[in-house]
Amino acid sequence: MRRCLIAGFTASLLLPVLAPAADLDSLVTQLAPRAIELRHQIHQYPELGNREFETAKLVAAHLQSLGYEVRTGVAHTGVIGVLRGGKPGPTIAVRADMDALPVVEDTDLPFASTQRTTYDGQEVGVAHACGHDAHTAVQLGVASVLAGMREELAGTVLLLFQPAEEGPPAGEEGGAALMLKEGVFDEFKPAAIFALHVFPEFEVGSVAYAGGPVQAASDTWRAVIHGKQAHGAWPQLAIDPVVIAAEAVLSLQTIRSRNVDPTEAAVLTVGIIRGGQRENIIPSEVELRGTVRTYERAVQDLVEKRMGEILNGVAQAGGATVEFEYQRENPPLVNDPALSAWAGERLRAHLGADKVQSMRPVMGAEDFAFFSERVPGFYFRLGPTKPGTVNGNLHTPTFRADDGAIPVGMRAMASLVLDFLAAPPGLPAVQ
């Protein structure tokens, strides 16, 4: 029997006063223990993308207990919370992702996940190996902080609890793209959007950010090389797709080394090579699958074009044919430069300059990019690693976010929202 996650703050925890920094710290200290409890529940009972049913119930119940306008069933299992302040002003959006990964957790946390489910036709473990439980808990804590300041807020806060950031199940739509398709920004028209993500490179107490590109576009591709089957002892009778595939894998790597400008970034990975049923049979076909990561649309176009040319050329040279499919998934995540400069200054003012670090771009993808394509966005890292310990990488069984990251994330995000509504920085008009 799966335990229900629904829980919420009591009204007695809400303080109807707009707080300066010292009072904000007091609120975070008061509210963080409950947010941490909710984080434990979410972590112990993780759910995959578009299946975050109990997590969504928890989120909705918590927001309702705080007096938010709540919408459920957004992009399948997403939840929206709307807090309208007592004074006129802009709308600011904040996103937290809720989904987990098909990973078997290997930590000694007392609230470690033992959940299992079916994914892509296989029985798998389920774990919050990317820290989305921490993101959701931070945002629930921020919701509590802001609800106590409602009458003094000059504007509206739009809290997006997003499903399927890691991607929807095969054959389904989901994530940020579906939330936008359903019209969330058309209705609320936020002036900007914020999000955070834990990153094991940084210790608890610290945050990190950068302006401009911070995460890559993520594309997927598939190629099937069609040859001619024969006995392995008579290769002269075959058109061997295995040999052609091997040549293709090596030739594709020349795109990065010989076609892309050395000052620009690109990664082309072959993640799957699949073909053959028996060691003494040359198969009739071999399938290749992989991913491409880039920051610039021109580089993305170049890689796709050269991949098609190389695959067709190698196949033709070997007497084979090839099918090639290229699918553009997430766009690059680009922090708005002006908003990032403003937010970095505010984070240093609230957390201390020594706690705010610079952030290098990475080739990982993040579908927050769909939101930040529409309105100015600011996406920053939250340190989850307990000082003096070694953490596992994201998407691995040993990744763990320390509870100490929750109040730091609450303070950082709440301060950005409050400062934005109090004195909005000049930003481009919403498209």
Q: What is the DSSP string of 3-59?
A: PP------GGG---S---HHHHHHHHHHHHHHHHHHHHHHHHS---TT--HHHHHHH
- Alpha-carbon distance 255 to 361, whole Å? 21
Question: Domain ends where: 309, 330, 351?
Answer: 330
Asked if 70 and 36 sit in the same domain, the reply is yes
Taking alpha carbons only, the member of 222, 235, 313, 238 closest to residue 271 is: 222
Contact present, 371 and 159 (Cβ < 8 Å): no
List the CATH number of the domain containing 132. 3.40.630.10
Q: Give a yes or no: residue 6 inside a domain.
A: no
Structural domains counted in the chain: 2
State whether residue 400 is helix, strand or coil.
coil
How buried is 37 (Cβ within 10 angstroms: 0-12 exposed, 13-18 middle, 19+ buried)? middle
Asked if 87 and 230 sit in the same domain, the reply is no
Asked if 374 and 325 sit in the same domain, the reply is no
Containing structural domain, residue 168 = 11-216+332-422
Asked if 49 and 99 sit in the same domain, the reply is yes
How buried is 388 (Cβ within 10 angstroms: 0-12 exposed, 13-18 middle, 19+ buried)? exposed
List the CATH number of the domain containing 262. 3.30.70.360
Q: Give a yes or no: residue 4 inside a domain.
A: no
Q: Give a yes or no: residue 2 inside a domain.
A: no
The confidence score (pLDDT) of residue 427 equals: 60
Q: Give a yes or no: residue 289 inside a domain.
A: yes
Asked if 359 and 340 sit in the same domain, the reply is yes
Question: Domain ends where: 330, 360, 382?
Answer: 330
Tokens 């403003």 correspond to 342
Per-residue pLDDT of the chain (431 residues; tens, 9 = 90+): 334 443 333 333 333 333 456 689 999 999 999 999 999 999 999 999 999 999 999 999 999 999 999 999 999 999 999 999 999 999 999 999 999 999 999 999 999 999 999 998 999 999 999 999 999 999 999 999 999 899 999 999 999 999 999 999 999 999 999 999 999 999 999 999 999 999 999 999 999 999 999 999 999 999 999 999 999 999 999 999 999 999 999 999 999 999 999 999 999 999 999 999 999 999 999 999 999 999 999 999 999 999 999 999 999 999 999 999 999 999 999 999 999 999 999 999 999 999 999 999 999 999 999 999 999 999 999 999 999 999 999 999 999 999 999 999 999 999 999 999 999 987 654 44
Asked if 279 and 393 sit in the same domain, the reply is no
Asked if 240 and 175 sit in the same domain, the reply is no
Asked if 307 and 391 sit in the same domain, the reply is no
Question: Domain ends where: 279, 300, 330?
Answer: 330
Q: Give a yes or no: residue 284 inside a domain.
A: yes
The confidence score (pLDDT) of residue 266 equals: 97
Q: Whole-model pTM above 0.75?
A: yes
Asked if 226 and 176 sit in the same domain, the reply is no
- Alpha-carbon distance 91 to 186, whole Å? 12
The confidence score (pLDDT) of residue 1 equals: 34
The confidence score (pLDDT) of residue 22 equals: 62
Asked if 259 and 395 sit in the same domain, the reply is no
| Residue count of the chain | 431
Asked if 204 and 318 sit in the same domain, the reply is no
Q: Give a yes or no: residue 377 inside a domain.
A: yes
Q: Give a yes or no: residue 151 inside a domain.
A: yes
Asked if 298 and 250 sit in the same domain, the reply is yes
Q: Give a yes or no: residue 358 inside a domain.
A: yes
Contact present, 157 and 146 (Cβ < 8 Å): yes
Taking alpha carbons only, the member of 99, 112, 3 closest to residue 48 is: 99
